[in-house]
């Protein structure tokens, strides 16, 4: 089953679904996922996280048309200012320094670091009074380990976690699928591995306990 179909099944069978999109970029996936929720005609919460100010501009425009909550900063393992490396591609900026990225995608370049704000997911969830999460969509360009480290309590209350993974260090310190799996708190299973090339793809994890 493709990922959007799995998502639809989940939200259709969930009262007041809570969805998080970590790394919303320009809002293309945000729109797709929101429209599925809106079509249900029932209460929901959708929280989008995006630190790149260029992408935040697009998401702010989207807020005028769609009902969601926007958090315009990064998620990680600490709170405070951290370096951010923008790129000439809207989906490649990261709090981590590019490593093999230059060889894998030579057409993508990165600017000198600027400072942005980072916060732990657990702090955000507490502040926004989020008791449970039904679905996390994560695309954070090599910072998956940081998001998990700062969100252990939240992940322990999350049903599904969908994330990109790469089995090489496209960014310094990037971890692969199995290590992501190992670091998730509690017991999780791989519900579906959407491997799209020899170095990785996307993976859907489901929490068991």
CATH code of the domain covering residue 39: 3.40.50.150
Give residue 95's pLDDT: 94
The per-residue pLDDT for 89 is 84
The answer to whether position 106 is within a domain reads no
Asked if residue 195 belongs to a domain, the reply is: yes
Per-residue pLDDT, 172: 95
Task: State whether residue 23 is helix, strand or coil.
Answer: coil
Question: CB burial class (10 A; 0-12, 13-18, 19+) of residue 201?
Answer: middle
Q: How far out from the chain centre does Cα 55 lie? A: 14
Chain segment 134-161, per-residue pLDDT in tens: 999 999 999 999 999 999 999 999 999 9
* Confidence band, pLDDT 50/70/90 cuts, at residue 108: very high
Residue at 108 is within a domain: no
What pLDDT sits at residue 104? 87
CA distance 151 to 192: 22
Q: What pLDDT score was predicted for residue 209?
A: 76
Q: Is the Cβ–Cβ distance between 122 and 153 less than 8 Å?
A: yes
Q: Which range of residues forms the domain containing residue 125? A: 3-77+120-207
Q: Is the pLDDT of residue 46 over 80?
A: yes
Q: Are 32 and 7 in contact (CB under 8 A)?
A: no
Asked if residue 26 belongs to a domain, the reply is yes
Cβ-Cβ contacts under 8 Å for 148 (sequence gap 6 or more): 155, 180, 183, 184
Mean pLDDT (whole number) for 103-125: 94
- Report pLDDT for 155: 98
pLDDT in tens, 190-201: 999 999 888 899
pLDDT band at 22 (very low <50, low <70, confident <90, very high): very high
> How large is the average pLDDT for residues 166-178?
95
Asked, for residue 51, whether it belongs to a domain, the answer is: yes
Would residue 103 count as lying in a domain? no
Mean residue pLDDT across the chain: 95
Q: What is the pLDDT of residue 1?
A: 84
As for how many domains the chain has, the answer is 1
- Residue 130 inside a domain? The answer is yes
pTM of the predicted protein model: 0.95
Average pLDDT over residues 1-30: 95
d(CA 15, CA 43): 8
């Amino acid at each position: 089953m493709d990922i959007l179909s799995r998502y639809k099944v989940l939200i259709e069978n969930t009262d007041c679904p809570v969805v998080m999109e970590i790394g919303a970029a320009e809002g293309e996936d945000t729109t797709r996922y929101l429209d599925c929720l809106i079509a249900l005609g029932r209460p929901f919460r959708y929280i989008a996280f995006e630190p790149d100010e260029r992408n935040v501009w697009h998401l702010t425009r989207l807020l005028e048309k769609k009902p969601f909550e926007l958090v315009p900063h990064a998620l990680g393992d600490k709170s405070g200012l951290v370096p951010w490396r923008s790129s000439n591609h809207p989906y490649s900026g990261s709090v981590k320094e590019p490593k093999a990225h230059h060889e894998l995608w030579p057409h993508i370049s990165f600017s000198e670091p600027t400072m942005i704000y980072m916060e732990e997911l657990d702090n955000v969830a507490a502040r926004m009074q989020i008791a449970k999460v039904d679905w996390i969509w994560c695309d954070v360009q090599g910072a998956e380990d940081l998001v998990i480290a700062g969100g252990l309590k939240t992940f322990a209350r999350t049903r599904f976690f969908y994330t990109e993974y790469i089995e090489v260090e496209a960014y310094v310190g990037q971890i692969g699928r199995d290590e992501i799996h190992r670091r998730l708190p509690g017991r999780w299973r791989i519900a579906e591995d959407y491997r799209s090339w020899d170095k990785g793809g996307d993976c859907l994890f489901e929490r068991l306990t």
